[in-house]
Amino acid sequence: MTTFVPANARRTVSPHLPFGEMRGGKFYKQDILSIKQFDHDDIEFVFGVAEEMRAMVERVGTFDLLKGKLIANLFYEPSTRTSSSFAAAIQRLGGSVIQINDVKYSSVSKGESLPDTVRTLEAYVDAIVLRHPETGSAAIAAAAAHKPVINAGDGIGEHPTQALLDLFTILEELGRLDGLTVTMLGDLKYGRTVHSLSRLLALFNAKLRYVSPDILRMPEEVVGELKTQGVSQTEHRELGGLLAETDVLYVTRVQKERFADLAEYESVKGAYVITPDTMTAAKDHMVLMHPLPRVGEISTEVDADPRAAYFRQVQYGMYVRMALLALVLGKA
């Protein structure tokens, strides 16, 4: 397993080759449904394209790589962050978006099936970004569609672009991905992001540390799967002792809507809060991440700490989505 070369260095390796030349074809016209589609080298390739996107946005803001391309943002449940991220991504590439935010105002309220909705929309657009509350819906949509479908979250299923942006954040912040100690904190049971990120980190020789209340432990399904791959994993009730070795601290929200019993929610929600004291005990070169929105899990006093990467994480997400859009539409 090779170590990632930091971004700036990597960009100089073969300056005369158009990027995306070799592996780009693999993603052209493909759906992006699951992180399982990506092996180590695919991720390295996608992140190379994402770094090109970052460089272009920082230099010129917007450019015309996907001029004239049109995507649909088909959101069966609200997610301002994700839908805005895809909307910004396509528009910064010179394309446009048809936003379908609120399904009760769509023909779905007349009882249309997801495959029919997808086949209708693909008559208008070049790719469909789908957010849907039901696991497996993205695969159903992709099977019906002739145009690429990008899964922007299907219930407790997958949200592959979130997992990729989390990993890309680590790369951009630390300059490498291999052999890091990554501590995940909070709701590890219902937090879809930590499951996917753990699986991706397994490709990069990570040591995983899970810190959660007992009722919100990392599911046995994930732990068992990574164990067979020989990944170093340990479980903890408290964060303190782990800070000295932690390269990445990934904090998750304890989501009220996941609890059947509100009293249970109240009993755990404040248990794992990051404060300036936490940061004092942490390593100097360390990344503090959160998928957002946060509701108190990280004190706002921490925001000014240079290690607090959660708002930059949002921006890295746009670069990753720009890269994926360019790849599936054949322009990267």
Binding site for its own copies (CB under 8 A): 60-63, 67-70, 72, 78-81, 84-85, 87-88, 91-92, 94, 96, 98-102, 104-112, 115-117, 119-121, 123-126, 253, 255-257, 292-295, 300, 311-312, 314-315, 317-318
> Closest approach of Cβ 68 to its own copies, in Å?
3
> Closest approach of Cβ 17 to its own copies, in Å?
27
> Closest approach of Cβ 238 to its own copies, in Å?
25
Comparing CB distances to its own copies, the nearer of 70 and 268 is: 70
Residue 77 phi, psi dihedral angles, 5° rounding = -145, 155
Whole-number Å distance between alpha carbons of 289 and 173: 10
Scan for tokens 């052999």, then name that residue.
179
Comparing CB distances to its own copies, the nearer of 156 and 281 is: 156
CB 215 within 8 A of CB 268: yes
> Closest approach of Cβ 242 to its own copies, in Å?
26
Comparing CB distances to its own copies, the nearer of 257 and 284 is: 257
Both tokens of 32, joined, read: 């992006």
Cα distances (Å, whole numbers) of residue 87 to 93, 114, 151, 265, 320: 10, 21, 14, 34, 13
Both tokens of 324, joined, read: 């994926």
CB 296 within 8 A of CB 266: no
Whole-number Å distance between alpha carbons of 230 and 217: 20
> Closest approach of Cβ 181 to its own copies, in Å?
27
Comparing CB distances to its own copies, the nearer of 97 and 202 is: 97
Comparing CB distances to its own copies, the nearer of 6 and 94 is: 94
Whole-number Å distance between alpha carbons of 270 and 293: 15
List the beta bridge partners of residue 32: 150
Cα distances (Å, whole numbers) of residue 150 to 35, 114, 157, 246, 330: 12, 14, 13, 33, 14
> Closest approach of Cβ 257 to its own copies, in Å?
8
> Closest approach of Cβ 195 to its own copies, in Å?
19
Whole-number Å distance between alpha carbons of 28 and 310: 30
